[in-house]
Amino acid sequence: MDENISLRKDEHLRISLDQSVQEPVELGFSALRLEHCALPEVNLEDVDVSTTFLGRQLKAPIMISGMTGGTEQAGSVNRNLAIAAEATGIAFCVGSQRAAIVNPQLASTYLVRDVAPDVFLFSNLGAVQLRRGFGIAECQAAVDLIGADALALHLNPLQEALQTHGDTTFSGVADHIAEVCHALTVPIIIKEVGFGISGRVARRLLACGVAAIDVQGAGGTSWARVEGQRARMDRLVRAAEAFSYWGIPTPLCIRSVRQACPDLPLIAGGGIRTGVDAAKAIALGADLVAAARPFLQPALDSVEAVIDRIEQIVFELRVALFATGCRQLHDLRYVPITTRGTDLL
Ligand SMILES: Cc1cc2nc3c(=O)[nH]c(=O)nc-3n(C[C@H](O)[C@H](O)[C@H](O)COP(=O)(O)O)c2cc1C
């Protein structure tokens, strides 16, 4: 069983690097513009992108989303990501720790505290596992194993439905999430994997006691496309194709969740590729942005490559604040947003 999980994680890494599994959505970040300010009345060097999230100070409002673990290569990816996140003062989430809970010999591929003692670190498990014998003890074990500050549970119903032997027993998952939220000593965040969380679902999750939501909407890595490339059964191959345009675009998720839950700490992941995307996400109501795929190739290369990618995004975010006349992240909320500039005419 754990061999299968490791093989799957290897395939996910390889296929995710292929551009064809990225889904361009019509209402993605490129369809939006922030109103440019020709008279910023702020110096670029004074722009401040630091923030506090769930009580933790971050130098930039960025999280590296959960991707991997369970294989030697995955272990090196996790360590490169963690070291770079620590050096740049951003948050980091490991990939699903199910493999390590099932087979403790794989635990080392998730361990990063020795190289990143202060990074804001998230554990990761699939919420559907809570219907399959993973309870409070397993969630706490995942957190304790890596010394995490929080636990991210991912919701991935469509991905599971498009996988051979995927787990689609989602009935009752909300009650299990509520139990975990009440029992664990660390905050629980819920994330999707690229099809998005709506305002309606967010309200339900808030009632369960979650500390934050990461919308992980459509516009970046499409798990229908990834699973489509892995599928061997004709039925799954065709279904993956049918779902290759599916999900709530990330900008719509942000708006919808922010309207439904005005005070909920909110992360925007799914299709964030530049600091300009990040600025738009924050202007729409996100507190933090998250990205997975942009850090994958750099993490396979070196720590320096990951740091360079993070610094690029931070630079673009700082310039976006400057060019909209904002000194701090919070100021972005007041910047008018238009679709492809047409609203300005
Ligand atoms: C190679 C790869 C592996 C992933 N594995 C996990 C995982 O184990 N757990 C999880 O919650 N999300 C996983 N994801 C989903 C990402 O965290 C993220 O939700 C999704 O890729 C959308 O973000 P992006 O467009 O920035 O890639 C994975 C993504 C990639 C690219």
**CATH number of the domain that residue 185 is part of:** 3.20.20.70
Cα(31)–Cα(56) distance, rounded to whole angstroms? 32
Size of the chain in residues:
345
337-339/32-34 β-pairing: antiparallel
pLDDT at 101 over 80: yes
pLDDT at 33 over 50: yes
Cα(163)–Cα(223) distance, rounded to whole angstroms? 10
Cα(67)–Cα(75) distance, rounded to whole angstroms? 11
pLDDT at 8 over 60: yes
- d(CA 324, ligand 1 centre) in Å: 31
The whole-number pLDDT of residue 1 equals 45
Q: How much of the chain is in helix, strand and coil states, percent to nearest 5?
A: 50, 15, 35
For the beta carbon of residue 302, count every other beta carbon within 10 angstroms.
Answer: 13
Tell me if 249 sits within 8 A of 25, measured CB to CB. yes
- d(CA 263, ligand 1 centre) in Å: 26
| Percent over 70 (pLDDT), the chain | 98
Structure tokens, 161: 């439905």
Structure tokens, 106: 């794989």
The whole-number pLDDT of residue 232 equals 86
Residue 129 beta carbon below 6 angstroms from any ligand 1 atom: no
What confidence tens digit (pLDDT) does each residue in 110-150 have?
Answer: 999 999 999 999 999 999 999 988 999 999 999 999 999 99
Q: Report the mean per-residue pLDDT for the chain.
A: 95
Structure tokens, 273: 């590729």
pLDDT at 2 over 60: no
Average pLDDT over residues 241-255: 96
Tell me if 289 sits within 8 A of 278, measured CB to CB. yes
Place of tokens 């660390």: 186
CA separation, residue 40 to residues 126, 144, 172, 277, 322 (Å): 44, 46, 51, 20, 6
Residue 98 beta carbon below 6 angstroms from any ligand 1 atom: no
What confidence tens digit (pLDDT) does each residue in 62-100 have?
Answer: 999 999 999 999 999 999 999 999 999 999 999 999 999
The SS3 call for residue 150 is strand
- pTM, two decimals, is 0.96
Cα(137)–Cα(184) distance, rounded to whole angstroms? 9
Nearest CA to ligand 1 atom 2: 67
Average pLDDT over residues 172-185: 97
Cα(307)–Cα(233) distance, rounded to whole angstroms? 40
- d(CA 193, ligand 1 centre) in Å: 6
What confidence tens digit (pLDDT) does each residue in 257-313 have?
Answer: 999 999 999 999 999 999 999 999 999 999 999 999 999 999 999 999 999 999 999
The SS3 call for residue 175 is helix
The whole-number pLDDT of residue 312 equals 98
125 backbone dihedrals φ, ψ, rounded to 5°: -145, 160
pLDDT at 20 over 90: no
Tell me if 155 sits within 8 A of 191, measured CB to CB. yes
pLDDT band at 341 (very low <50, low <70, confident <90, very high): low
Nearest CA to ligand 1 atom 4: 67
325 backbone dihedrals φ, ψ, rounded to 5°: 75, 25
End-to-end CA separation in angstroms for the chain: 59
CA separation, residue 100 to residues 90, 147, 159, 205 (Å): 25, 14, 21, 26
From the CA of 193, give the closest atom in ligand 1.
19
The SS3 call for residue 298 is helix
The SS3 call for residue 291 is strand
Residue 91 beta carbon below 6 angstroms from any ligand 1 atom: no
Going through 50-134 in order, the beta strands assigned E by DSSP cover 51-53, 56-58, 62-64, 91-93, 120-126
| Percent over 90 (pLDDT), the chain | 88
User: What H or E segment, with its residue span, contains residue 7?
Assistant: helix 2-16
Best mutation site among 67, 197, 230 for ligand 1 pocket (most ligand atoms within 8 Å of CB): 67
How many structural domains are present in the chain?
A: 1
Can you give the residue range of the structural domain that contains 83?
2-344
